[in-house]
């Protein structure tokens, strides 16, 4: 994978024939390079952790892939339509959201992905740090150019949450719940978070960057979040395939995002409600300039949480930190 988003054609070819031998001559002809160049590329892939057999006069056979979220692996493992037309992959980066915003400002197309094995400056809501250790989770940002009004942007966070919860449930077999506005919980602890950022004019969106971090195989967390965070591995007791979670999430996202673009957000809302751990429960919400407690009744079409206070009024909450009360 090149830094300009281009793909490693040799890896794509070997992945498409995984478990079978491909002759050096066939590879040379298809890629338009010398056999010496093929040999050098094979050795490069081996250094990345790919298990590749080579037999004289027979060819090369890809036996096993490392646990890397390379673009070629994503493309070969999924059948995506608008996502992943362009994928920027980094072994380590400050923040995928920051990089995605730069790319979007420079014209990166709708559906572009920015993915990293590690974030050294991962961000959550309100500027909080998101711990993103190497090769343990999914640290991803999606560039979107939606046909929505700026006030409708929170719908994208809800769409992303539905896709992530469904992917975790399907692949890991774990009950995953959405906590308004942007968290995913497993057994009451945070397993994933979403950060949506937007560039917009008064009446139109230039682009949206939706970032998601999923704790997949993390086993250790900083002291300040040790009691509130978890991972799919800690819950299931075994390693969970990061690539499987990622590709299922992307597939689910395409489906629910299409509802959003087609004016059928009601379908997304219905799934969100079914996956919510807030609705019908008492919640406490702390905002920048307010605090309230009451019963979470519903969410409206704009993604606002409707809370019935103890005084009997129904408050429409647009943002804030939510805790579930007993």
95 known member of a binding site: yes
Distances in Å between the Cα of 238 and the Cα atoms of 173, 188, 232, 235 are 12, 19, 8, 8
Residue 301 φ then ψ, to 5° = -65, -20
| Element spanning 196, H or E | strand 189-200
Q: Which of 77, 101, 129 lies closest to 246 in space, CA to CA?
A: 77
**Measured distance between the N- and C-terminal CA atoms of the chain, rounded to whole angstroms:** 49
The CA-atom distances, in angstroms, between 148 and each of 98, 153, 263, 269 are: 22, 7, 10, 16
Report the alpha-carbon distance of residue 302 to residue 239 in Å, rounded.
37
Contacts of 61 (CB under 8 A, 6+ apart): 17, 19, 20, 21, 22, 52, 53, 54, 55
Residue 3 is labelled as binding a ligand: no
Residue with tokens 């994933």: 192
Q: Is 218 annotated as a binding residue?
A: no
DSSP 8-state symbol, 304? P
Measured between alpha carbons, how far is 21 from 14 in angstroms, rounded to an integer? 9
Contact 284, 325 (CB under 8 A): yes
The CA–CA distances, whole Å, from 28 to 22, 31, 39, 65 equal 10, 5, 10, 22
Say how far apart CA 286 and CA 134 lie, in whole Å.
Answer: 32
CA-to-CA distance for 307 and 314, rounded, in angstroms? 5
Grouping H, G, I as helix, E, B as strand and the rest as coil, residue 54 is strand
CA–CA gap between residue 9 and residue 219 (Å, rounded): 35
Q: Is 217 annotated as a binding residue?
A: no
Confirm whether residue 289 is marked as ligand binding: no
* Binding residue numbers: 95-97, 119, 190
* Binding residue numbers for biotin: 95-97, 119, 190
């Amino acid at each position: 994978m090149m830094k300009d988003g281009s793909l490693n054609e040799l890896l794509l070819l070997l992945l498409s024939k995984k478990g079978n031998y491909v002759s050096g001559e066939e590879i040379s002809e298809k890629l338009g390079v010398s056999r010496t160049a093929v040999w050098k590329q094979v050795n490069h892939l081996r250094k990345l952790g790919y298990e590749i057999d080579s037999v004289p006069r027979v060819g090369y056979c890809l036996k096993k892939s490392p646990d890397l979220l390379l673009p070629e692996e994503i493309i070969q493992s999924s059948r995506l339509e608008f996502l992943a037309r362009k994928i920027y992959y980094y072994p380590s980066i400050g923040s995928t959201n920051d990089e995605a915003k730069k790319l979007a400002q420079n014209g990166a197309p709708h559906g572009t992905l920015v993915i990293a094995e590690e974030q050294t400056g991962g961000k959550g809501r309100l500027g909080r740090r998101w711990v993103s250790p190497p090769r343990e989770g999914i640290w991803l940002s999606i560039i979107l150019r939606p046909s929505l009004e700026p006030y409708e942007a929170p719908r994208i966070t809800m769409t992303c949450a539905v896709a992530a919860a469904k992917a975790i449930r399907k692949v890991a077999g774990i009950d995953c719940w959405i906590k308004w506005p942007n968290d995913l919980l497993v057994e009451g602890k945070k397993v994933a978070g979403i950060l949506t950022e937007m560039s917009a004019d008064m009446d139109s969106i230039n682009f949206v960057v939706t970032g998601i971090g999923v704790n997949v195989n993390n086993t250790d967390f900083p002291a300040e979040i040790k009691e509130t965070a978890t991972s799919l591995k800690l819950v299931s007791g075994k390693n969970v395939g990061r690539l499987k979670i990622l590709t299922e999430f992307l597939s689910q996202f395409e489906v629910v995002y299409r509802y959003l673009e087609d004016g059928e957000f009601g379908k997304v809302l219905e799934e969100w409600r079914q996956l919510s751990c807030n609705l019908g429960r008492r919640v406490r919400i702390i905002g920048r300039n307010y605090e309230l407690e009451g019963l979470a009744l519903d969410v409206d079409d704009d993604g606002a949480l409707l809370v019935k206070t103890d005084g009997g009024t129904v408050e429409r909450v647009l943002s804030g930190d939510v805790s579930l009360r007993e």
